[in-house]
Amino acid sequence: MARYEMNLTDTGTLPEQVMGFRVRDLLGESSGITTYRVRDDKDAGFTLKHVVIRHEESLKYLQHLKNEYEIAKQVTHPNLRKAIDLKLKKQFGFMKVVEAGLVLEPADGESLEFHKSPGDSRMLRFFYQVGLGLAELHKMGYVHADIRPSNVTINVKKRKAKLIDYGDAVKFGTVLVRPNGPPDYVSPEHVEQRPLTARSDLFCFGCLLYWGLCRRNLPELRKAATRTATHDISAWVVEPPYRVNPKMPRDLSKLIQWCLELEPSDRPSSIDDCLPVINQTLQEWERNEVAAR
């Protein structure tokens, strides 16, 4: 029987080593993947996503790592996270993979989902940088397909954000059988199993903006649809952002609502249509904050 290195869930304690790296901290556990902060034998720091293949169900987590590696190894943009290596451990005498570790750039900051800042210029700066990273991903031909607060890392001191986790990313035009992300960050065409495009990500980007600047989640599309006899997704209704946050400029509020249109063709054609409005609002907010000091 193959000997597996143990995850936190196996013993309740943090392992000393995983895939040849010294474990410094647990960053998270989700969907069969455990993420650690690690160091190598030269004391260089990395993020390691770790999967142990115990059964057939685990194979989809292995594929998640492989998919992210194929995309993230191409990354050079400062607002995207680069992959360094994909390590595979095979059972002795067989070709079967029993353990995998995706080596990524070191985690530099915290998850956006834990950031308690109000919807101010700091939050808007992070979203602008996420938009820059998303623009680069789209130029590479990929739909991220899982944009949400937990897939954005921020460093408050450096005022820097990165869009991370490309394990669910797909080429433009791909149809996914079922939504990958949480129900309040899924585009209508994703729910209805239609082809995904850059505009699918813009819907989720709008959800992210709404969450961060209005400090509330949007209603779930699938729940809205199930309330109707025909499961009509058009029953979904969103309160205008400027009514939730009266300090929000109308141009930014209109942009968020534009991203949240149910029909893809009614949304912005690309993230490049969104960035100028966000940047203009960011500059205005920063000037106002300086004047108010």
pLDDT at 234: 66
What pLDDT score was predicted for residue 223?
58
Angle formed by the axes of helices 121-139 and 198-214, to 10°?
170
pLDDT on residue 3: 31
Q: What is the pLDDT of residue 173?
A: 97
d(CA 290, CA 287): 5
DSSP 26-53: EEEEETTEEEEEEE-TT--EEEEEEEE-
Q: List per-residue pLDDT tens for the chain, 293 residues long.
A: 233 344 554 556 899 999 999 999 999 888 789 999 999 999 999 999 999 998 888 899 999 999 999 999 999 999 999 999 999 999 876 778 999 999 999 988 899 998 876 678 899 999 999 999 999 999 999 999 999 999 999 999 999 999 999 999 999 999 987 766 677 889 999 988 899 999 999 999 999 999 999 988 887 775 554 444 444 566 678 899 999 999 899 999 999 999 999 999 999 999 999 999 999 999 999 998 888 87
pLDDT at 279: 97
Instruction: Measure the CA–CA gap between 176 and 101, rounded to whole angstroms.
Output: 25
| pTM for the predicted model, two decimal places | 0.89
Dist. CA 198–CA 271, nearest whole Å: 8
Q: What is the pLDDT of residue 41?
A: 94
Classify 64 as helix, strand or coil.
helix
Using an 8 Å Cβ cutoff, are 13 and 32 in contact? no
Q: Are 109 and 160 spatial neighbours (Cβ–Cβ below 8 Å)?
A: yes
pLDDT for residue 181: 66
What does the pLDDT read at residue 232? 57
Longest Cα–Cα distance of the chain, Å, equals 69
Burial class of residue 157 (count of CB atoms within 10 Å of its CB; 0-12, 13-18, 19+):
exposed
**Which tokens sit at 49?**
């996503």
Instruction: Please name each of the domains of the chain with its CATH number.
Output: 8-104 (3.30.200.20), 110-291 (1.10.510.10)
User: Cβ-count burial of 30 within 10 angstroms (0-12 exposed, 13-18 middle, 19+ buried)?
Assistant: exposed
Q: Where are the alpha helices (DSSP H) in the chain?
A: 8-11, 59-72, 121-139, 188-191, 198-214, 221-226, 241-244, 250-259, 275-291
Handedness of CA 108, 111, 116, 119 (dihedral sign): positive
* pLDDT score recorded for residue 208: 96
